[in-house]
Amino acid sequence: MTQLLAARAGEITPAMRRVAEKEGVTPEFVRQGVAAGTIVIPANINHQNLDPVGFGRGLRTKVNANIGTSTGFPDPARELEKLQVVQSAGADAVMDLSTGGDIDLGRRQIIRASRLPVGTVPVYQAFLENRAKRGNMLTMSAADLFEVIERHCADGADFITVHCGITLEVLKRLKNQPRLTDIVSRGGSFLTAWMLHHGQENPLYEQYDRLLEICLKHDVTLSLGDGLRPGCLADATDRPQLQELIILGELTDRARAAGVQVMVEGPGHVPLDQIAANVQVQKTLCQGAPFYVLGPLVTDIAPGYDHITAAIGGAVAAAAGADFLCYVTPAEHLGLPTLEDVREGIMACRLAAHAADIAKGVPGALEWDRQMSAARKALDWDKQTALALDPRKAARFRQERNPDGHEACTMCGDYCAMKIVGQYLGKASAGC
């Protein structure tokens, strides 16, 4: 029985109880959200060491980190190091986007080592295996694709990104409304090339019921991918993107009817003033399904700083109702991220998520800030460090830039504003 079917039957599963405990809400609140489809708990029955996480309405905004090999860096050991950074930096989920080396081995190692929900994109491996075997990835058959999907689910992937909304009809709209950057989704580009080469419908759309059967068997959450997400501001919120989203809304209904949990992925590169509208349209068309967004990036001009452009967009999106943010690292658009890039990307994304949680009134969000303010007032540096989003970085900055035993920081030195005013308000004994 999947989490969704259990919730509809009135059963509170151990996973629901654990999510409720971590979120500070009641187990019944979680059960009702799962039953309605506004909360998902990606929890594959084959993922043995999973600490369940909930995504959706009324819960803390979650953060995903992408890792994975490439043809240039095929060593899975490197990605296991990144996984340790992902977990220590406070991400809520991780996706293995591997395209190089032994993809099966790397995925299985990541799932075994991860206490976080693990997502994958099976279509990558399906196409790449056909290229390796037959010299041309377009030789892939529907049977090949579903065999790889089954393999990922049997290995314990908790959620899978599947680009089911790219149809021949949608591609007609793409041809009729040319884009500046066309298709930037890797999975979306693979499927588009396959469909146009063969003149056949997307097998993930045409055989959607077959996909649902596999997910039902392993209790895998579908993450309906946005293969036509905009890759630049000029392409945002166009007809192909919205047509795909309409189809994803219909597929959301079918997944829920089959007892399969589902969330929906979103853009992409979006101007700041269009983000809230994008979230509202998704929530309306997809009946409140959890919304998983990449960024959104609010400008195209910041290579090296795209973790910041994504954090700006992510905060706006989450405040408007998005539930799950995919991190972007400083290396986005430039190359595979380093360990430090991964950490920086996670921290920027967590910052965006927390800012949105304050705006949404998520339990405990504002209290964290109140405690930090009290620690600053008291010049309690140890507590400030412990409460910091990134305690490691805060401790390093404090140690490197302030003399030992110095009460204030070197920004103000002897002229700490709170300390000066505190003396006149009779609060000097508190420190500042």
Task: Give a yes or no: residue 216 inside a domain.
Answer: yes
Is residue 47 part of an annotated ligand binding site? no
- Residues ≥6 apart with Cβ < 8 Å to 291: 263, 264, 266, 279, 282, 283, 317, 321, 322, 323, 324
Task: Give a yes or no: residue 2 inside a domain.
Answer: no
Task: Decide which of 343, 360, 377 is a domain's last residue.
Answer: 360
CA distance linking residue 147 with residue 211, whole number of Å: 10
Q: Are residues 411 and 348 in the same domain?
A: no
- Using an 8 Å Cβ cutoff, are 113 and 51 in contact? no
CA distance linking residue 408 with residue 79, whole number of Å: 41
Amino acid at 332: E
Q: Are residues 420 and 353 in the same domain?
A: no
- Residues ≥6 apart with Cβ < 8 Å to 167: 201, 202, 205, 247
Q: Are residues 140 and 281 in the same domain?
A: yes
CA distance linking residue 237 with residue 239, whole number of Å: 7
Task: Give a yes or no: residue 106 inside a domain.
Answer: yes
What DSSP character marks residue 430?
A: G
Written as tens digits, the pLDDT of the chain (432 aa) is: 899 999 999 999 999 999 999 999 999 999 999 999 999 999 999 999 999 999 999 999 999 999 999 998 999 999 999 999 999 999 999 999 999 999 999 999 999 999 999 999 999 999 999 999 999 999 999 999 999 999 999 999 999 999 999 999 999 999 998 899 999 999 999 999 999 999 999 999 999 999 999 999 999 999 999 999 999 999 999 999 999 999 999 999 999 999 999 999 999 999 999 999 999 999 999 999 999 999 999 999 999 999 999 999 999 999 999 999 999 999 999 998 999 999 999 999 999 999 999 999 999 999 999 999 999 988 899 999 999 999 999 999 988 888 776 666 666 666 677 777 777 776 654 444
Provide the 10 A C-beta neighbour count for residue 56: 24
Is residue 131 part of an annotated ligand binding site? no
Pairing of strands 55-56, 39-40: antiparallel
Is residue 68 part of an annotated ligand binding site? no
Q: What is the pLDDT of residue 406?
A: 63
Task: Give a yes or no: residue 11 inside a domain.
Answer: no
Is residue 222 part of an annotated ligand binding site? no
Q: Are residues 379 and 329 in the same domain?
A: no
Residue corresponding to tokens 């019944």: 28
- Using an 8 Å Cβ cutoff, are 99 and 69 in contact? yes
Q: What is the pLDDT of residue 427?
A: 61
- Using an 8 Å Cβ cutoff, are 162 and 123 in contact? yes
Is residue 95 part of an annotated ligand binding site? yes
Q: Are residues 338 and 394 in the same domain?
A: no
Chain-centroid distance, C-alpha 231: 17
Q: What is the pLDDT of residue 229?
A: 96
Task: Decide which of 360, 390, 407 is a domain's last residue.
Answer: 360
Task: Give a yes or no: residue 345 inside a domain.
Answer: yes
Is residue 372 part of an annotated ligand binding site? no
**H/E element, 63:** strand 62-67
Q: Are residues 123 and 203 in the same domain?
A: yes
Is residue 163 part of an annotated ligand binding site? yes
- Using an 8 Å Cβ cutoff, are 54 and 39 in contact? yes
Task: Decide which of 334, 360, 386 is a domain's last residue.
Answer: 360
Q: What are phi and psi of 39, to 5 degrees?
A: -130, 140
Is residue 307 part of an annotated ligand binding site? no
pTM of the model: 0.94
Is residue 400 part of an annotated ligand binding site? no
Task: Give a yes or no: residue 24 inside a domain.
Answer: no
CA distance linking residue 43 with residue 93, whole number of Å: 11
CA distance linking residue 261 with residue 252, whole number of Å: 9
Alpha helices (H) along 219-321: 239-257, 275-285, 306-319
Is residue 398 part of an annotated ligand binding site? no
Total of domains in the chain: 2
Is residue 269 part of an annotated ligand binding site? yes
The sign of the torsion formed by the CA atoms of 330, 267, 37, 284 equals: positive
- Residues ≥6 apart with Cβ < 8 Å to 305: 330
Task: Give a yes or no: residue 28 inside a domain.
Answer: no
Is residue 265 part of an annotated ligand binding site? yes
Task: Give a yes or no: residue 32 inside a domain.
Answer: no
Q: Are residues 192 and 128 in the same domain?
A: yes
Q: What is the pLDDT of residue 429?
A: 43
CA distances to 20, 35, 118 from 48, rounded to whole Å, are 20, 24, 12
Q: Are residues 370 and 345 in the same domain?
A: no
CATH of the domain at 132: 3.20.20.540
Q: Are residues 216 and 203 in the same domain?
A: yes
Chain-centroid distance, C-alpha 341: 16
Q: Are residues 351 and 373 in the same domain?
A: no
Q: Which domain holds residue 304?
A: 46-360
Q: What is the pLDDT of residue 413?
A: 66
Q: What is the pLDDT of residue 430?
A: 44
Q: Are residues 283 and 139 in the same domain?
A: yes
In 3D, which of 56, 73, 70, 178 has the Cα closest to residue 124? 70
Q: Are residues 280 and 229 in the same domain?
A: yes
